[in-house]
Structure 1
Amino acid sequence: MPNRLAASTSPYLLQHADNPVDWWPWSPEAFEEARRRDLPVLLSVGYSSCHWCHVMAHESFEDERLAGLVNELFVPVKVDREEHPDVDAVYMEAVQAATGQGGWPMTVFCTPDGEPFYFGTYFPPRPRGGLPSFEQVLRGVAGAWRDRREEVASAAADLVRQLGSRGPAFKERGAPGEEDQRAAVQELLRGFDEARGGFGGAPKFPPSMVLEFLLRHHARTGDPEALRMVETTCRRMAEGGICDQLGGGFARYSVDAAWVVPHFEK
């Protein structure tokens, strides 16, 4: 029988509408249900062309026994990162801050207030390559929630405070002004990869929205550093393996920091 995702318009969520997992879409009602049942939330974030998202879905979310365990111990919430990039960005920052890496599927366990306390990406159905099995993770997290609730809540609150201290603090509500935008450019410069373009390390994503912001900023102010970051990034991407030299277009991201090894989705 289809679950709650059957009414979704997201192609990714519709792919999970027949899972035996009793998925909720991202909604206040899902977290209210977690509070009512006094259970943690299992937040699973992915997108329709993600290879490992499909692998984990087939191995675990389509498995009746594992799905029964999920439904018993958690309130499961499925998110399409292309439908909710805001949700994806917040929890991906938490995953990267806690583990030093990220990716999809993104698997996050949260309190009923949405505070994350355990993270991962793909978990196999059986222990493999140093990864615990999905069942081991489910039982371990549920046990911690049951037996060490105060410790879990404290860890979640600490992480939320750490992430909150990283964000920009605007003095007034509303759109950022010119001063804020200049500060943003300076912050981007500090994280800019001078040799290879882009920002940060592996995996490295084409930063389309950042590049658009820098181009608009350059058009308004003539800032040469903004234009240099755009030109360097675009040139390195075009020269790298992330660019399909025959068919055109770019892979979704590079698994390395130099745009050499593409993740094969366009």
Structure 2
Amino acid sequence: MSESDEVSPGINPAVPSVARMYDYWLGGKDNFGADREAAEEVIRLVPGVRELARENRAFLRRAVEHLTKVGIRQFIDIGAGLPTQENTHEVAQRIAADARVVYVDNDPVVLAHARALLVENSQTIAIEGDLREPKSIFDHPELAVHLDPELPTAVLMLSVLHFITVDRDALSVVAAVRDALPPGSHLVISHIYAGEMSQADRDAGRAIYARTSSGPVADRSLQCLTDFFSGTTLLPPGLVPVHDWRPDHPVPPRMDTGKPYVLGGVGTVDR
């Protein structure tokens, strides 16, 4: 995508979008020059960020596969990002054709692409919503029609909570999502973790994201990340680097705490 392409109303190609940066790291083409420039700045700061993006996507696939196999038939993917390979609905519906999926995002590019992709898929919809206002998501009329409020539902919040920069606010949002779910539901969460990055590198990373449409990112402690799963029972292996969450094949440990990585987990809502 280039700035000479037709740009939809409400989209400023000069402002980097986190969704389009992520698309760039995954090898996609739905990004502008400003997105690529910001994404390359992150690569210079965190050379392994492309691998982190792929590992986060693979975590989504494995988590959705597991939950579909144990009977979950409803999924809400909040902050879904641009469609790529192994989207939530593709993974779930490959196992259970009756699985229903709702994508939620506040980026007009994401919504336009998702709705175009889903024209012929009546089991999946995309709605506008912001994680910072969970009640508005669960009260959305299209979601209310598409999903059965009595059936267990898996809510995915992958690499989005770090855009809510105050810990107390982020914990409150997750609690509101959890409390809106019926018994037997699940939370699937991943979050960047800075490890032992230098303060200078942390500040540089925050400065890059501060220029994006999503704003700066939070640098959270392990305890805070663990607290996101309060009120749930974490499935084994717990909260771990996403490449260690039930990998398809044995993988050697790669806990280099001097570099950032992505932690992820799946929690069953306690009732």
Answer yes or no: same fold by TM over 0.5.
no
User: Which has more helix, going by share of residues?
Assistant: 1
Relative CO higher for 1 or 2, CA cutoff 8 Å, sep ≥ 6? 2
| TM-score (norm. length: structure 1) | 0.27
> Which one has a larger percent strand, Structure 1 or Structure 2?
2
TM-score, normalised via structure 2 length? 0.27
Structure 1 or 2, whichever has the larger Rg, is: 1
